A and B are shown apart, each in its own frame.
Chain A
Amino acid sequence: MSPDAGSIPAASTILGSRRTLKAFNERRRYRLIFLPLFFSCLVLILVASRPVIQISTRDYEGYSRVLLTLPSNLSCSLEKSDAFLQVRLRSRTVFELRQEPFESRLVKSFSWVKGSDFFGLIIELRHGGFRYESFRVERRNQLAIDFYETAFEVPPSKEEKAAAEPPRKENIPDVGEARTEGASDRGVSGGTKIRTIVIDPGHGGLEVGAKGKFGSLEKDITLAISLKLQSLIERNLGFQAVLTRDRDIDVSLDNRAGVANNHHAELFVSIHANSSLRRNASGSETYFLSLNATDEEARRLAYLENTTAQLEKPLDNENKDDIMMILWDMAQSAYLKQSQRLAEIIQEELNTLLGTADRGIKQAPFKVLTAVACPAVLVEVAFISNPDEEKKLTTEAFQEMIAQAIFQGIARYVKLIS
């Protein structure tokens, strides 16, 4: 920096020398340039802070939903052309689109256009064979648009299938099957047939879970049991059994729930080995989700439970929509009763088959269960923190027995609801 740029000299010294006077003039010029620059920065800042439209996209059985959260209650109109749907908002402002990352079989991407008196949000779909329904959620300035596939001529692209479940190639044809079945089912009867069961071997990769005294890791035991359970289900139940991981890799808890929801799983069973602060804790227990609700939250949830159908009757789509809207990230809360029943049955089988101490069924706020949109339980097969049980857990025979017990529980539950 030049020496005269820093401090402001007194007027007398400026007049005193030509050199400083020149510097003073330069400073004025610099101000002349700096001011417009400053204002252009301000304009940039204003542009950067334009109002936001939040976009979240999710697939449900038979349809995909795009949920737009608008900054205010703007009026809008929808216009379909080919594989595009334009949402016209009566507003002169340019909105910033903020998308949650999504994976959808119908919705491809979002973009926007600016008209003289409107802002157009453009939703691009994978093909033109769709119809849509929209409704507003008033309190929250939200607009929900549901897309239904109407044409079958364009099958979902290969990349899409691969993206839905990358780690398990052998399941890909089944994924497609489950989807088309789901779509046709919805129209006909919405029967309670079980098609896919998702098994979740707890932990994996760097996330090792609990450790035993002899060095065995929870992640290895859960995987071994899950693989055995998978083959039992596929051999004897005739259902597809999908694992959230089939080898020693990291899978985030959200993605585990995602596997279940993407496959429209009918059941989700997470396998874990327990660990306690107590040295001699032992036995098996089965958990379903607890919501940690305060009284007023509990009242709101009671409403949901009442609108949720009982075990014999599946959710009809209207109620399902309600629940999805209210509990975007707490999908499991709509299935607590079914989950409890599943937990009871699995626990009974564990008690009869394993001879481990019965610790009963319990409720706990386990992260992996929160977003699963089907009956879901977490089985703590035995205590890895207990040296005796740890030894047993590493044996093939005991793992086989556990898998058999859980399998029988699942089979009984399936029979019960079909």
Chain B
Amino acid sequence: MSRKKPMISPVRWTFLVLSLIVLLVLAVVFFKGGRRELIKPSVDVSPVEVSGQEDLPPKNKEIVLFFPAEEDSLLHPEKRRISAGSSVAGEARQAVEELIKGSAQGFLSPLPPETRLREIFITRDGTAYVDFSKEFMEKHPSGSSAELSTIYSVVNTLIYNFKPIRKVFILVEGGEKETLGGHVNLSRAFTQLDSLIAQ
């Protein structure tokens, strides 16, 4: 190390410059990256939220799932029991997972069986965000009718069974997708489509 000459050693200089760069990068990331804010699950305020139901005996609740059938292009109801008492989001999660498992009455499977439900949350305005794993898109056969059956089996099931849910927004791997397989628009929330329900 030299005596008094350099005010700051070269090591310090590089340290300073590096920290400056890091700060700048942080600033850029903060201001440019912050605009495209993802919907946070923290807004999940479902009105029927009940906490600490551990002491209550697990109750069953009957819901209606909608499945596509071989004989026509409509969605057919199938009753299913899920455990009640958790939050709306918790019940909705069970409903979608039952849809993924498929029908017990021989209806068609609306979702690829490999699909995982990553997350489901309900915002204050009644929109349920349903976040599927990538298999939801990748294993889907594509095509207008197929896409409509898939989407509306989820949408109609959720809106039909859960009062607080008025719209359903479908995400894949945590993000918004343009379409499912080139046809049905995923960049807007879905409302119930009664014309697809049998009877």
Binds B, one of A57-65, A105-113, A359-367: A359-367
Q: Contact mask B179-199 → A, CB, 8 Å, 1/0?
A: 101111111111101010000
Cβ of A30 and Cβ of B12 under 8 Å apart?
yes
Cβ of A275 and Cβ of B146 under 8 Å apart?
yes
Complex alpha-carbon distance, A298 and B14, angstroms: 61
Cβ of A367 and Cβ of B144 under 8 Å apart?
no
Most A CB atoms within 10 A — which of B9, B12, B150, B178? B12
Q: In the complex, what residues of B have CB within 8 A of residue A240's CB? A: none
Cβ of A2 and Cβ of B183 under 8 Å apart?
no
**A404 in the interface (beta carbon within 8 A):** no
Complex alpha-carbon distance, A382 and B159, angstroms: 31
Most A CB atoms within 10 A — which of B11, B28, B189, B193? B193
Q: In the complex, what residues of B have CB within 8 A of residue A352's CB? A: none
A285 CB to closest chain B CB (Å) equals: 8
Interface of A is mostly: mixed
**A1 in the interface (beta carbon within 8 A):** yes
**B115 in the interface (beta carbon within 8 A):** no
Task: Report the number of A-B residue pairs with Cβ-Cβ less than 8 Å.
Answer: 134
Q: Which of A54-85 contact B (CB under 8 A)?
A: none
Cβ of B7 and Cβ of A367 under 8 Å apart?
no
Cβ of A41 and Cβ of B24 under 8 Å apart?
yes
Cβ of B16 and Cβ of A33 under 8 Å apart?
yes
Complex alpha-carbon distance, A46 and B126, angstroms: 37
Whose C-beta in chain A lies nearest to the C-beta of B23? A41
Whose C-beta in chain B lies nearest to the C-beta of A48? B31
**A201 in the interface (beta carbon within 8 A):** no
**A387 in the interface (beta carbon within 8 A):** no
Contact of A45 among B27, B109, B110, B143 (CB under 8 A): B27
A33 with B8, Cβ < 8 A, contacts A364-B148, A378-B144, A380-B145 known: yes
**A294 in the interface (beta carbon within 8 A):** yes
Complex alpha-carbon distance, A274 and B73, angstroms: 12
Binds B, one of A155-163, A276-284, A406-414: A276-284
**B80 in the interface (beta carbon within 8 A):** no
**A384 in the interface (beta carbon within 8 A):** yes
**B175 in the interface (beta carbon within 8 A):** no
B51 CB to closest chain A CB (Å) equals: 29
**B123 in the interface (beta carbon within 8 A):** no
Cβ of A367 and Cβ of B179 under 8 Å apart?
yes
Cβ of B187 and Cβ of A385 under 8 Å apart?
no
B137 CB to closest chain A CB (Å) equals: 12
Cβ of A5 and Cβ of B12 under 8 Å apart?
yes
Q: In the complex, what residues of B have CB within 8 A of residue A253's CB? A: 178-179, 182
Complex alpha-carbon distance, A311 and B112, angstroms: 43
A44 CB to closest chain B CB (Å) equals: 6
Cβ of B23 and Cβ of A367 under 8 Å apart?
no
Most B CB atoms within 10 A — which of A29, A202, A211, A277? A277
Closest 10 CB pairs of A and B: A275-B143, A210-B143, A367-B185, A276-B145, A45-B27, A365-B185, A41-B23, A210-B142, A367-B179, A277-B108
Inter-chain pairs besides A29-B8, A41-B24, A209-B142, 7 sampled, C-beta below 8 Å: A5-B12, A44-B24, A218-B142, A275-B145, A278-B145, A279-B70, A292-B190
A-B contact pairs, 23 of them (CB 8 A): A1-B11, A5-B11, A5-B12, A26-B9, A26-B12, A30-B8, A30-B12, A49-B31, A202-B182, A209-B182, A275-B146, A276-B149, A277-B110, A277-B141, A278-B68, A278-B73, A292-B190, A293-B191, A294-B167, A366-B144, A366-B185, A368-B183, A378-B144
**Interface residues, chain B, with chain A CB atoms under 8 Å away:** 7-9, 11-12, 15-16, 19-20, 23-24, 27-28, 30-31, 68-70, 73, 108-110, 141-146, 148-150, 166-167, 178-179, 181-191, 193, 195
